[in-house]
């Protein structure tokens, strides 16, 4: 799901801004944050209403949702902060 989210964010941003370079920068910023969650998984806020063991952390205008699974972190979704989070999270 997160890969699809990143693809959709990149496409939307490239179209709206008219710059693939800017879309690349945004995608790099978002995906670059994933290592932070792997090194410190407790950083995010728990989001029990959206899923078991789910956490969210803001990165720019987006929320990155992830789960700690054993000794690794799995990125679940990346959703713009202005969207209805429950609806967006369940829509995929």
The C-alpha atoms of residue 32 and residue 37 are separated, in whole angstroms, by 10
The C-alpha atoms of residue 49 and residue 35 are separated, in whole angstroms, by 25
Task: State the residue range of the domain holding 41.
Answer: 2-90
Q: Are 80 and 61 in contact (CB under 8 A)?
A: yes
pLDDT per residue as tens digits for the range 24-53: 999 999 999 999 888 988 889 999 888 888
The C-alpha atoms of residue 37 and residue 67 are separated, in whole angstroms, by 9
CATH number at residue 14: 3.30.2310.20
pTM score: 0.90
pLDDT per residue as tens digits for the range 45-88: 999 888 888 999 999 999 999 998 888 899 999 999 999 998 98
Strand-pair category, 62-69 with 54-59: antiparallel
Q: Domain count of the chain?
A: 1
């Amino acid at each position: 799901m997160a890969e699809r989210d990143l693809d959709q964010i990149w496409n939307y941003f490239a179209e709206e801004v008219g710059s693939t370079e800017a879309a690349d920068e945004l995608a790099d910023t978002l995906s670059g944050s994933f290592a932070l969650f792997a090194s410190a998984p407790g950083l995010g806020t728990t989001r029990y209403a959206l899923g078991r063991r789910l956490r969210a952390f803001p990165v720019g205008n987006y929320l990155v949702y992830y789960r700690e699974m054993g000794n690794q972190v799995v990125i679940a979704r990346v959703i713009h902060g202005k969207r209805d989070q429950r609806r967006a999270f369940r829509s995929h």
